[in-house]
Chains A and B, each alone.
Chain A
Amino acid sequence: MTKKILILLFILIPIKANALIEVDITRGNLNPLPLAVSPLSIDEKSRKGFEKILKKENIGSEISKIVENNLRVSGLFNPLDKKAFLQAPDIANLKPRFEDWNLIKAQALITGKVNYIDDKLRVEFRLWDVLAAKEMMALAFTTVPNNWRRVGHIISDKVYERLTGEKGYFDTRIIYVSEEGPKTQRIKKLAIMDQDGANNKFLTLGNELVLTPRFNPASQMVTYLSYFKNMPRVYLLDIETGTQEVVGDFPGMTFAPRFSPDGKKIIMSFAKDGKSDIYTMDLENRIVEKITNHPSIDTSPSYSPDGKYITFNSDRSGYQQIYVMKNDGSDVKRISFGNGLYGTPVWSPRGDLIAFTKLHKGKFYIGVMRTDGSGERLLTENYYQEAPSWSPNGRVLIFYRETKTNSKGEGFSAKLWSIDLTGYNERQIKTPTDASDPSWSSLLSN
């Protein structure tokens, strides 16, 4: 975890400005782009070198499997079956025989090569437009061998960006709450994993209840709620060092924490005497500011990406609704006016939308609306689901879903799911235990 990826990124061949293949990600993609991910070729000496260190028989194919899986799961690409490939990986990387790839209906082709040089992993890869018979991109990375999965994610991000025109979200992690045990006595631990579910790791032991972890968009810090010593308080955790501290000195429960976009402040709720207000604490000078002051419940605050506005949840109208205000607490405006209750507003990293949870007629929805409340769109309906978190490119939402129990109170489960902003491509994200409260990190390499 602590190893920063060491990247020597150099462009082998300049990229031409005129786009060749393009994938439109703004609408539901029912015809994912067929593409071929040729296994990265590897010479025998390098293969043996990596087998020794990484215990993987062929690291070249392992990396391309990661790329293939990422692209498939995005819903925008359809990686073709390798058995149909006619050209050997090493030759394809030198000069693809485009007719062969055209024959299996691949529109794009990814080739590459892995080398073991000076105890380092060197990967080069190329993206080809099959129909135009042209190279679209060529890049090479050098890093420590243990970073091989991240190399696969970075390649995926580069391919996604080149073909869609938007940044990817594969070289990222998810922090979440792992859940075990009966519904009345759940044991909850903080857990972290790569975006694709690999490298799952528990960060707390489960001795105390923990909830709602959120990543700092600017560093590897996390803020979350812990019931340590039966005092629910907002904590700050450094995932690299494991050190943690209470945020602020409040005489009561603090909860619903999130970072400001620059990572320098924590915004959260403080509950006292039956009312909850929103506060910020500056992490450098420890200055605490009270942002809302109302006898209602004000919670679930989330900053706009420029830090100038805050969206939050309040029942000041009598029921839970979504509001937007300036970052100093002035100019409060209600933005949700549809039927039902609205909660957990989260500002998109692109700035244009707010994702939310809605409860209407006994069903829970994850939806999005513009920041003035117009254009409400519900993406998914279920018995219970809530707490959306955005992918760093603002194209995918991750959230959790709970099942209804039977008449004996059995059959409860909580799982992580993701869905595209388009409302398509709904998927369960596999976790070793039950899971809730997911939060998506920024891109790790940027």
Chain B
Amino acid sequence: MSDGAPTPPAMPALSVSGLVKRYGERTVVDSLDLDAAQGAVTAVLGPNGAGKTTTLEICEGLRNADLGSIRVLGQSPRDPTLRARVGVMLQEGGVYGSVSAVEALTHAAALYESPQGVSDLVDALGLAEVATVPSRRLSGGQRQRLGVALAIVGRPELVFLDEPTAGLDPQSRRAVWELIASLRDAGVAVVLTTHYLEEAEHLADHVVIMDHGRTLASGHPHDLVSSVASRTLRFTAESGLHLQGLEKRLPHGSTAVEVSPGTYLVTSPDLSEAMGHVSAWCIDLGINPTGISSEQRTLEDVFLDLTGDDLRP
């Protein structure tokens, strides 16, 4: 935390509970809970259609919730005073095609009392070479970075970034990561959605995994990995085993699936008991399982287990 940064208040920067959003018959967000702290990066992870963008748009005051309580910096999301205090990067840039990065940033900067310097922002996000090019001629990645710059030009207390690094080359992604880390260090609350698990793992203080509009798990990436790992074990054996027999033996609430040919995943509330049953079952069937382990190495494994879904960019 730098000197002079405001002391983070006890209340979370963003607090969402029981959020419900329906489009006609379709429930897009279903009793979602989400908290984001000051001076922390909160990453919302989920497959396409999980409801991430809708959730963010409700918090940004762009859409109304059907049910639930949302407090943004202690206010209701549509409170007009939030418009200066909250920075927003939408998935679609929102910059007129004939307007350049410098013009868009100059316009945005003039809306705030003590904005960032436009040229500083242009440099920080590596847009110097294309600063005067009409935005319609920018690459997808350059447009993304302009979106990030527009979100922070007003020195906000809370920033919503909807897929800030989608389509960025590794160097640009690094630059955006550094910027997000410096926002956190300065006491800004950052809420972002991402398709990159690596990004969530490296950058986030708090990860929320959601699918079908619900929170499936949340916590520090490290805790999340170890807590889910403690309930899951993996083993390899010949493919195509019939698992009904195994599931009958396992403690109540356990599941067994063949996640890829010859790789089996067992989830159980009591892992040590499950481990014993798996071994006994294998002996009974005369199979020799290898690599029985309760270790999961990455957030990606957790994510796949929870959503059963690949992250599709």
Do the two shown chains form a genuine complex with each other? no
Residues of B within 8 A of A (CB): none
Residues of A within 8 A of B (CB): none
